[in-house]
């Protein structure tokens, strides 16, 4: 569980420093579309990686994630990721307007968090022999 908080902290630091430098003040529609597509894809990649890791029970991160979920946890897990993908689409759609620099920063935070999460999950799957 601490690793998820660590990923969030690292994502927050990266987003905070870029926000302080004014990176999100300029609207870049192509960048927003790429971040939105990447965020939607990565939510489903995380579900697939967790499913693969569940089949190979040596991955402690996946075992911890599944143990935290109650009976019917896969449904909750998948619904949470679907809701996260809708959040990414909403942030990407709202972030196109000129005034919404905080929305663009929130979109960047979510995408950076998902990138770190999926990369670490893939690394752990590689270490524990799923790939």
* CA-wise closest residue to 81 among 34, 114, 129: 114
What is the domain extent for residue 6?
2-127
Higher pLDDT, 27 or 63: 27
Domain count, the chain: 1
The pLDDT of residue 110: 92
* CA-wise closest residue to 24 among 120, 125, 119, 92: 92
Q: CA-to-CA distance for 86 and 64, rounded, in angstroms?
A: 25
* CA-wise closest residue to 37 among 104, 89, 91, 94: 89
- For the chain, percent of residues with pLDDT exceeding 90: 22
């Amino acid at each position: 569980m601490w690793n998820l908080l660590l990923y969030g902290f690292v994502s927050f630091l990266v987003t905070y420093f870029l926000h302080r430098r004014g990176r999100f003040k300029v609207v870049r529609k192509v960048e927003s579309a790429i971040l939105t597509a990447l965020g939607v894809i990565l939510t489903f990649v995380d579900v697939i990686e967790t499913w693969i890791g569940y089949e190979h029970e040596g991955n402690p991160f996946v075992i911890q994630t599944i143990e935290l979920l109650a009976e019917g946890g896969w449904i909750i897990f998948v619904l949470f990721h679907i809701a996260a993908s809708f959040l990414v689409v909403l942030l990407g759609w709202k972030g196109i307007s000129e005034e919404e620099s905080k929305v663009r920063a929130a979109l960047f935070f979510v995408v950076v968090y998902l990138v770190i999460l999926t990369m670490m999950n893939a690394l752990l799957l590689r270490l524990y022999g799923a790939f």
